Copies of this chain bind each other. A is one copy, B any other.
Amino acid sequence: VAAVTERAHAAGLDAADPLAGFRDEFVLCERIYMDGNSLGRLPRRVEERVAALVQEWGERLVTGWHEWIELPARLGDLLAREIVGAQPGEVLVCDSVTVNLYKLAAAALDRRPGVIVTAVDEFPTDRYVLQGLGEVRLLDPDPAADDVAAACAPGDVALVCLSHVNYRSGALADLAGITEAAHDAGALMLWDVCHSAGVVPIDLSGVDLAVGCTYKYLNAGPGAPAFLYMREGLQLELRSPIQGWFGQREQFAMGPAYDPEPGIVRFLAGTPPIVALAAVEPAVELVAEAGVAALREKSVALTAYAIELHDAWLAPLGFELGTPRDAARRGSHVSLRHPEGWRICRALIERADVIPDFRAPDSVRFGLPPLYTRFVDVWDAFDRLRRLVEDEVYLELDPAPGRVT
C-alpha cells in the first residue's frame, strides 16, 4: 500500500471513485484548477444548451418568450428538489446574489423592523447590503447557535443572516441549530448558501429565506443568475422593495397599480437574462445526476486528503490550516493560511500552472469540487506548492497585494 504522500495513493483513490466518470462531462484544460468554488468549470452540455438557446432566439424571436418566461420558476423548482431541500414554488432563479439578498432582507425588515445579526467575516456583499438596510450587530467568525442566541438576547433582532459555508475559512455552519436560535428570539433566518449549494446537502425546510449562486459548484458560468428561496408561509406577507413587472399578477394586462403575484414570483423584478438562465438547467441537472449525497461523500474525502497532505508537507513550511478539521464542520474548499499567502498564490498561478485563489489577509483557498476534481489533482497541486515554497520561488514575485478574483 502506498503511503499517503505518494502519488500512487491518490491514484488509488481515483480508481475507486464512483464519480470519476463525471470529469468527462467537462471541458478540461492543462492547468490544475483549484478554484471551482469561485467559478465552476464549463460542462459540455452547457456549451451546447447556450448555443441552442441562441439559435432559438434567432428562429423563434419574440414567440420564444412563451416558454422562456417560465424559466425563473421552473429552474427554481429544479433547485428546490435537487439542491436546497425546498418545496416547489419556494425558489426562483433570477438577478444576482446581491440583488436577491437585498430584496429578501429589505422585505423582511419592512415587515418586522429591528437589528440585523451577521458575522464579521461574512461575505463582503452580504455585509455591505445589510449595512445599507439597518443597524448591524456583528458576530465573531464561524458562530455557533449559542453565539447567535446571545446576540439575539436583547430581543431587538429582526433578521439573522449568515453563510452556510464561510467563503474564506470553508467552515460549515450549524444550519438547523442557528435557525432555531434565531426563531427562538423571534427573528427571521436568511441563509447564504453560495458556498454549499451542490456540494453539501441542504435542508431549507423551516428556514425562512435563502440566497445562493449557480456559478460555483453548480457550474452555470461566470455571473450566472442567482437564486432566492422563501418559505411558502411568508410569501403573502412579504413584498419585494423592487416592484417590477415580472412580479406583477396578470403581467401583460399592464394594469394601473402594482398588484404582486400571490406566490414566490412576486420576487422577480425585471426581464430575466434568458441566455444566461438557460445555462443553469443543464448545469444543475448534471449535479443532480451525480447526486448531492454522493458528491458530499467525495468532497469530504477530498478535503480530508488535502488536510493530510497539508499536515505532512505544508505545516512544516509555515502553513496553518484555516479550515475546520472536523469534516462535519467544513464545506468543499480548504484554506491554507500563510503570511506570504498573496505571493505564494501568485507564484502557483504564474509559475506552477495551479489555480487556487487568495482571500485577504492570508488565505490561499483550494476549492475541490467533487464533480471533476481528482485526488491526483490535489496531490499534484500540493506537491507543486510544497516545492515552490521550499525553493522560495514565490520570493521572486512582487509582494504588493493587488486585485485577485
Interface positions, chain A 222-259, Cβ under 8 Å from B, are: 222-226, 241-246, 248, 251-258
Number of copies: 2
C-alpha gap A64/B215 in the complex (Å):
14
**Least CB distance, A280 to chain B, in whole angstroms:** 11
Q: Which of A51, A55, A125 has the most B CB atoms < 10 Å from its CB?
A: A125
User: A58 on the interface (CB 8 Å rule)?
Assistant: yes
CB of A275 within 8 A of CB of B279, answer yes
User: A388 on the interface (CB 8 Å rule)?
Assistant: no
Range, interface on chain A: 35 or more
Known: A57-B222, A65-B222, A131-B257. 11 other contacts (CB 8 A): A39-B62, A47-B58, A68-B222, A95-B95, A95-B270, A98-B244, A128-B244, A129-B243, A222-B274, A223-B273, A224-B275
Listed in ascending order, the chain A residues whose CB lies under 8 Å from chain B are: 27, 29, 31, 33, 35, 38-39, 41-42, 46-47, 50-51, 54-55, 57-59, 61-66, 68-69, 95-99, 102, 120, 123-125, 127-129, 131-132, 213, 215, 221-226, 241-246, 248, 251-258, 269-277, 279, 349, 355, 357, 359-360, 401, 403-405
24 contacts between A and B (CB under 8 A): A35-B61, A47-B54, A50-B275, A57-B222, A62-B355, A62-B357, A95-B270, A96-B244, A98-B244, A99-B270, A102-B269, A125-B244, A132-B258, A213-B271, A221-B274, A222-B275, A223-B272, A223-B274, A223-B275, A224-B275, A251-B403, A273-B273, A275-B276, A275-B279
